[in-house]
Amino acid sequence: MTVLVRSLETAVPSTVLKQPEARDVFAAQEGLTRLGRRLVTTCFDAAAIDTRYSALAEFSWDRPDHDPDFFDPSTGRLLTPSTKTRNDVFVREATPLFTDTARRALDNADGIAPADVTHVVTVSCTGFFNPGPDYRIVRDLGLSPSVQRFHLGFMGCYAAFPALRMAKAFCDADPNAVVLVALVELCTLHVRSSNDPDTILGASLFADGAAAAVVTARDLPLTRPAVSLDAFETTLTPVGEENMAWNIGDQGFEMVLGTYVPHIIDEHITGALEPLLARDPSLVGRPHAEIEHWAIHPGGRSIVDKVVARLGLSERQGAPAYETLREFGNMSSATIMFVLERILALPEAEADDAGSPPRASGSPEAGPDSPGAERICAMAFGPGLTVETALMTRRLP
């Protein structure tokens, strides 16, 4: 029995943040020291990001607000709203992102109807409300009121992996299950001006985004590229607990993203991958670059740099992570879904040019070791320091 992600949809809010403009705003804030301004310039310029997206219309120069909460365009000042004010915006802006993205994922899951959904799993670490997004999806999409609902909150950038692992477990237990997974992160609600290097680094990276997927083991023909969920593993590095954290403060959530994180990942990524690769004997002892696709969470450019260099990956294998980072920034848990979407969209010829053997048929029951099966190794990093990894297989119609 093969558990497949049969549809995957992503979305971003409408406000565009151009990295050079955002850099100049943050560098001009009152209270910054000379070192703080230098750190802002360095972090923003080194982030390898061109554009990010925000749910805050106040961040647009084209929409001046007469009573702003987050940003006053008349003065260029970043304001300091309370946690409640920030969370109120989350409730208002995250809800339609959850429901609209989930609806598109369901609409594009051929052979699946709303009445077929048995489980809903929602994910976010950037806001809270109850009845929550799981409830809204059931109500707004007209799902059965008996749908089992689960919400994974405050796990951080790696949370897509527990969500997909949960979906796989439901489908393994019941081959008729249909799981709708939805993730929304509005990280820009919590940006602030500061001289603290961790806060500056977070401000240079984080963005808003949403994703949704339909996961099932139902025996249905493939009509579009899909991903089978083959195996998952979780590892805690022996160091790094104080280097990556996500706390609730009086003026929003406070990100701790230490500059030493890429070095920790560099030292421990090969060990973290060992238990995952051991799940498939054909991968044990092989060079990492022989796995066709790598879905790396782009927590920052230096993180992707370290993973690519340590594992000996090619420019092509690192491209989905780098391109996602450049176009969207770090959208916390939703980001890896953007990377997977990019891998799913790769043209068939590109993989053939990379030297892959002839492809297997589009049968969803074809095993990951079938001739031509395209393996994906995925990973994300978060508080703890937690390393979540997954083996997947790209399947074409």
What's the pLDDT tens digit per position in 14-35? 999 999 999 999 999 999 999 9
pTM over 0.75: yes
pLDDT of residue 259: 78
> Is 245 a domain residue?
yes
Contact 119, 170 (CB under 8 A): yes
Query: Domain range spanning residue 237?
Result: 226-345+373-395
125 is an active site residue: no
Rounded average pLDDT over 2-11: 98
> Is 203 a domain residue?
no
Q: How many domains does the chain have?
A: 1
- CATH code, 332: 3.40.47.10
User: What is the separation of C-alpha 271 from the centre of its chain, rounded to a whole number of angstroms?
Assistant: 23
pLDDT of residue 202: 92
> Is 317 a domain residue?
yes
Paired tokens of 346: 């790769």
> Is 130 a domain residue?
no
> Is 318 a domain residue?
yes
φ/ψ (deg, to 5) at 230: -95, -45
Contact 328, 48 (CB under 8 A): no
Least confident range of 34-38, 65-69, 320-324, 339-343? 65-69
Nearest to 103 by CA among 91, 126, 120: 120
> Is 320 a domain residue?
yes
> Is 121 a domain residue?
no
More confident residue, 247 or 325: 325
Nearest to 43 by CA among 207, 246, 266, 199: 199
> Is 242 a domain residue?
yes
Query: H or E element: which one contains 20?
Result: helix 19-27
Q: Catalytic one among 43, 157, 187, 377?
A: 157
* CA atoms of 354 and 335, how far apart (whole Å): 25
Q: Residue 92's CB: how many other CB atoms inside 10 A?
A: 12
342-387 pLDDT, tens digit each: 999 998 744 444 444 334 334 555 556 554 579 999 999 999 899 9
* CA atoms of 131 and 3, how far apart (whole Å): 29
